[in-house]
Structure 1
Amino acid sequence: MSSLSASDALSGHSHAHARAKARRARRAQWQLWCILVVVLGPLVIYPLMRLAALSVTGAHGLTLHAYAAFFGNPETRGVIGTTLGILFASATLASLLGVLIASMLFFKPFPGAKLGTRFLELFVAFPSFLVAFTLIFLYGSQGSVSIGMQKLFGLQAPPLDFLFGIGGVILAEVVFYAPFVVRPTLASFATLDMRLVEAAKSLGADSSMVAFKVILPLAWPGIAAGTILCFLLTLNEFGILLVLGSAHLITLPTAIYSAATVDLDLPAASAGAVAMLAMSLSLYALYRRVNVRAGGRDGR
């Protein structure tokens, strides 16, 4: 009897646990729907749907005229080429610099390395245009460094005059987005089995061989995730372009902005925005796939 009572009690406890689990699942579903309807609906989903609808709506119904007008414009092809050129130059240099900084912080720690890591983590919270203004105050034609060099060497004109153009934009984006690569790279390095590194060194491998034959193959998912994130953020950069981009340096974000605010051509601006959104979502999907392979080691 006691055995039967214990079995009944255990069965009742199992059923109660299953009912509680089902209630939690239903509550989670209701919370998800609440977030979708109350938060994401009016703030994200509806504006994106309106944007997509505006890009394919004309006076006589559905049409692709906005896409044809925007991408059929000969100037747009030059804008896309400029955008991709700045994107690949900035993101590639920022990724290389980020990996180099992470390698120094992890494998060659120095006094103040932890403080430097904390500063880089804080740096990602700064608005991008602040970096652009900082570079202007330092390296602009009237910046402190430029004026100091002019006085030091007795020059007639400031020696530095490159910020307001493609050089300044690339420099600012490299400075701003390199820290975004440092964090996932450091997290990836932290998962390495250092015994493998020591074994490679004991077998006579030099530093470059250890880096490319041991460390890189093991840490590449985190490095790749940081690099793709850098490309994604650089693609959507607007503040630096607005501050440092000259009138002749027009990229896709500034072209969309100009079409919407200057030309008042909202359908054409919507078509460009939808194309940028498609590129951004593609990069984000690739980032998520690589990040999952990295095991979420960037802290996500």
Structure 2
Amino acid sequence: MSSSLVVEPAVAPEASGSAATQRNWRPIAWSAPPLLVVLLFAVYPVVRVLTESTAKSGAWSQVLGSESFRNALWRTVSIAVCSTAGCLVLGSFVAVVLAFVPFPGSGAVGRLIDTVLTLPSFLITLAFTFLYGTAGALDALIARFTGNHSPALNFLATPTGVVLAEITYFTPFVVRPLLAAFAQLPREQLDVAASLGASPWRVLRRVVLPEAWPALAAGGSLVLLLTLNEFGIVLFTGAKGVITLPALIYTRGIVTFDLPGAAVLATVQVALSLALYIAYRLIFARFTVSRTTQEG
């Protein structure tokens, strides 16, 4: 009786080292293309703007010390805050109605909200112009009934008109996250609260809203970031007296061709956006940790 001995082939140290090196380089090779795209389309423009802002001596002090910059900064922040507050109030109301007050056509309204998300902002502004402009349909209707042909509505080219147009356009960005959060809310909690005699307002305040805070914070932060950088609505409303930072950047860079001054303003705009995003991430992370601790 003979037994056979199977001898495993020896692996050369050079081959094992080559395989390990290949495994180490594979993640780098996969991450290189998206990293190059980010560097080319995100990092390079920011670095280029920062470089251009220092090309002219005294550009920073001249721009930041001007009254036009202070007015534009205040106008930008005030419009963004008012628009965000309006979107939060209107978006919360619309989301609660769509989620908890069934009515005929609620599905169509939800799909219409999704459609608004796909439209460019200038279309909403043009619709506002056709409806509420000095030569719009509503002014024509008022003139027909009153006989007074002077414009009865003349708010579109004011900060109020810009805020109303931004609320109309950006409210779906609050409604959609809230609807997603309400869809995950267990209906048993609502039924138990109602069976214990809680009023609808108390159920909304004690059961529904605590579950919706993350979605509300996410939607509000996104709207604040978008309104802070909005330019199309300001441009298409024809609000010449409403000068925001994006509008001032356009004026300096395109109209007067002051590229260093426009680069300074663009740097400030980027800094505001990054600061807002970092603050949102910190607040959201703290809220998540606090909520996890309470549930644990």
TM-score (norm 1): 0.83
CA deviation vs aligned residue, 1:246-293 (integer Å, no higher than 9, x gap): 222111111111111222221121111111111112223344556676
**Partner Cα distance (1:294, 1:163) in 2:** 40
Partner of residue 36, structure 1: 35
Q: Distance in 2 between matches of 1:50 and 1:230?
A: 27
**AA paired with 2:120?**
P
Whichever residue aligns with residue 57 of structure 1, its letter is A
Q: Distance in 2 between matches of 1:162 and 1:169?
A: 9
Show the 5 A alignment for 1:94-113: 94-113=87-106
1:26 shift after superposition = 5.2
Contact 1:222/1:294 (8 A) holds in 2: no
Cα 1:110–1:287 change in 2 (3 A) is farther
Contact preservation (8 Å) 1:188, 1:223:
no
**Residues 267/220 of structure 1: CA separation in 2 closer, same or farther (3 Å cut):** same
Q: 1:169, 1:245 within 8 Å by CA — same for their partners in 2?
A: no
SS at match of 2:118: coil
Separation of aligned partners in 1, 2:238 and 2:28: 46
Contact kept? 1:95, 1:178, Cα under 8 Å = yes
> More deviation in 228-237 or 258-267?
258-267
Gap runs ≥5 in structure 2? 1-7, 9-18, 290-296
Q: Distance in 1 between matches of 2:236 and 2:158?
A: 10
Cα drift, residue 193 of structure 1: 2.0
Matching of residue 158 in structure 1 with residue 135 in structure 2: no
- 2:16 is matched with none
Among 175, 181, 192, the alignment partner of 1:188 is 181
Aligned length: 270
Task: Report the CA distance shift for 1:105/1:294 in structure 2 as closer, same or farther (over 3 A).
Answer: farther
Partners of 2:30 and 2:131 lie apart in 1 by: 50
Q: Which letter maps to 2:35?
A: L
- Within a 5 Å distance, the mapping from 1:48-63 to structure 2 comes to 48-58=46-56
Output the CA distance in 2 between the equivalents of 1:212 and 1:180.
Answer: 22
Matches within 5 A, 1:282-293: 282-288=275-281
How far did residue 51 of structure 1 move?
0.8
Superposition pairs of residues 1-300 of structure 1, within 5 angstroms? 27-37=26-36, 39-58=37-56, 65-288=58-281
Unpaired runs of 5+ residues, structure 1, are 1-7, 9-18, 60-64, 296-300
Greater C-alpha radius of gyration? 2
Structure 1 residues 289, 197: closer, same or farther in 2, change over 3 A? Answer: farther
What is the alpha-carbon distance in structure 2 between the residues aligned to residue 276 and residue 233 of structure 1?
12
Quick check: 1:180–1:226 contact (8 Å CA) kept in 2? yes
CA contact (8 A) 1:98 1:182 kept: yes
Amino acid at match of 2:198: A
SS of 2:208's partner is: helix
Letter in 1 for 2:218: A
SS at match of 2:31: helix
- After TM superposition, the score normalised by the length of structure 2 is 0.84
